[in-house]
Amino acid sequence: MEKVNVKPATGKLGVLCVGLGAVTSTFMVGTLMVRKGLGQPVGSLTQLATMRVGKGKDKQYKKISEVVPLSNLNDIVFGGWDIFAENAYESAIHAEVLKEKDINPVKDELEAIKPMPAVFDQNFVKRLHGTHVKQGASRWDLTEQLRADIRNFKAANNCERIVVIWAASTEIYLPLCDEHMSLALLEKAMKENKTEKVSPSMCYAYAAIAEGYPFIMGAPNLCVDTPAMWEFSKKMNVPISGKDFKTGQTMMKTVLAPMLKTRMLGLRGWFSTNILGNRDGEVLDDPDSFKTKEVSKLSVIETILDGKEHPELYSDIFHKVRINYYPPRNDDKEGWDNIDIFGWMGYPMQIKVDFLCKDSILAAPLLLDLVLLSDLAARAGRSGIQDWLSFYLKSPMHDFEHKPVHDLFQQFTILKNNLREMGGYDADECVD
């Protein structure tokens, strides 16, 4: 296969994170520790995984960085925005995800990462009260300020490229409306300051795309998953991806649901509940923010287990999701699943899952991979929706003509085949 023209990963890569809370600070600390040789990037495919390229006598197993040119961790420069003025060190200590002994070796570097004032509207995140926020006459004005931030950060840190990733709190549920259907209508709404139609997250997405840089949406709220943003990303030749980092309970669903389908086992009901005590848990305690997350979580089962394709197995599934704010657990999330299945002759069985996970520990490697692979996509000249990154996301973005793929193993095959193609190898579906 003819090698795809992928520009080399030269120079510094600026990684601008929206939100400097538990997930982002854990991501930053871990990346800085790994590049000092003081930690292991467990959970990161780009750093640890090997994959097969070629078949038969030409078969080889290579690290992903040997298949495609990825940015080196030493070339990453961190920055970002937050509604609180705490630097990355203070944020990491406050989050209480990592022990101080795993933070202090990179204390100086973390203290130098000071967030820029954020675009914030409390109507979209009702449980938080931002104190480090921008002022502007309109959403358009605020977006122009974000664009200036990106340009200034790039110049000050001598970066060749930038990636912007949203790791902030979940905004309230916002239904798709006319203002989101075209770039012209979106820009008009921003200039007319239709605050109820244009969320703060949309300002970040627009700013990144306008500057020509990839944008990754790590929360489930409406943002870059609109025709207006798809149009803009194509126009600016920028890759976009989203939405909602796939970490604990939903990751398990994308493994267990395909098992049921593969074995042709039936499903009566799936009840999921979570307890979580960090800032994300506090935000999701608000019903409007929870609705956004609920829509994202509910879509997984219904997509994998298609009731129209197999009505005798999946036509009447009762699926309920709950998230409960429980401060004593902080970032240690516990997800319980009760799964009522049935088998031969319709006889009932149950599966119980109790996943005691650390939300930010699972999310941090996803941020690293999404940043590096989005930068790769940009250097490969790709634009628009990067559905091959669905492996990392709960609610994979897709246009109106296609259905998302939720099966983790199908997503993994799609991911590897895209890497093969960008590395100049043939895509295939052979079992590795």
pLDDT at 118: 98
User: pLDDT value at position 241?
Assistant: 98
Give pTM, 2 decimals. Answer: 0.93
Q: What is the pLDDT of residue 285?
A: 74
**Among candidate residues 131, 149, 35, 28, the one with its CA nearest the CA of residue 89:** 28
Between the alpha carbon of residue 207 and those of residues 186, 193, 348, the distances in Å are 13, 16, 52
| Tally of CA atoms within 13 A in the half-sphere of 394 that contains its CB | 24
CA atoms within 13 A on the CB side of 61: 6
Cα angle 94, 330, 287 (rounded to 5 degrees) comes to: 110
Q: In what order do the strands lie in the sheet with 348-358?
A: 318-325, 266-276, 332-342, 348-358
Closest CA to 229 of 220, 374, 238, 221: 238
Nearest to 237 by CA among 210, 275, 276: 210
Task: Give the list of residues 6+ apart from residue 405 with CB closer than 8 angstroms, or none.
Answer: 387, 390, 396, 411, 414
CB 430 within 8 A of CB 14: no
Alpha-carbon separation of residue 170 from 34, 225, 249, 284, 290 (angstroms): 29, 15, 17, 7, 8
Distance CA 244, CA 192 (A): 29
What pLDDT is recorded for position 127? 86
Predicted pLDDT at 56: 86
In this predicted structure, what is the pLDDT of residue 279? 75
Per DSSP, the three-state class of 358 is strand
Residue 273 near residue 248, CB atoms below 8 Å: no
d(C-alpha 83, C-alpha 85), whole Å: 7
Strands (E), 140-230: 159-166, 215-217
pLDDT for residue 2: 54
Kindly tell me the sign of the dihedral angle through the C-alpha atoms of 49, 54, 57, 58: negative
**The amino acid at 190:** M
Give exposure, 303-315, as e/b (b: 16+ Cβ within 10 Å): bbbeeeeeeebbe
Q: Which helix (H) or strand (E) holds 77?
A: strand 76-82
Q: Give the model's pLDDT for residue 293.
A: 67
Can you give the pLDDT at residue 329? Answer: 86
Sign (positive/negative) of CA torsion 74, 80, 82, 85?
Answer: positive
Phi/psi of residue 276, each to 5°? -155, 140
What six digits make up the tokens of 107?
Answer: 């204390």
| Tokens describing residue 384 | 């628009």
Q: Is 293 left (phi over 0), alpha (psi -120 to 50) or beta?
A: alpha
Mean pLDDT by 10 residues, the chain (432 residues): 81 98 97 97 98 91 97 98 98 95 98 98 92 98 98 98 96 95 98 98 98 97 97 98 92 93 97 86 74 72 92 95 89 92 98 94 97 98 97 93 90 96 89 62
Domains of the chain: 12-245+361-422 (3.40.50.720), 249-358 (3.30.360.10)
